[in-house]
Amino acid sequence: MLSTGNIEKKYSTLGLVGCTVNNKISVENEGAGGCLGGPTATFLSNEELYLKAEKELLALANQKGGNGVIYANFQYRICVEQVADAVGGVMKAFGSKSASATTAQQVIQLWCYGTAVKIAD
């Protein structure tokens, strides 16, 4: 159980849990159109991102012997990440002045934390 506030059940607190997750998923690409294979980024929806964060917080609480997280807090930021660009790298190797071996990707990050609890049965 995860709650952004208190719960109306008896519980004992186990301590703070926290994690950072982002919406990027790397998938191995077999190559297309004669290009070399390599990781290709796909992205989670906002709902999938928060579900990923919830799952991670609950897993951390479980590692402490808990079965819930209360007062969960989620803060986000949008950042830009530099990633390799195979096509730009090849063009640059062949003398292109305007090509770049990297490209920018927008990534959403969530900082998540809360109090791990053991809820009484």
Is pTM beyond 0.85? Reply is no
pLDDT digits (tens, 9 = 90+) for 1-60: 999 999 999 999 999 999 999 988 765 555 554 455 555 668 889 999 999 999 999 999
Q: Where are the domains of the chain?
A: 11-29+37-119
Radius of gyration from C-alpha coordinates of the chain = 21
pLDDT tens for each residue of 18-35: 999 998 876 555 555 445
Considering the domain 11-29+37-119, what is its CATH architecture? 2-Layer Sandwich (3.30)
Largest CA distance in the chain: 68
């770049």: which residue's tokens?
100
Nearest to 24 by CA among 40, 39, 44: 44
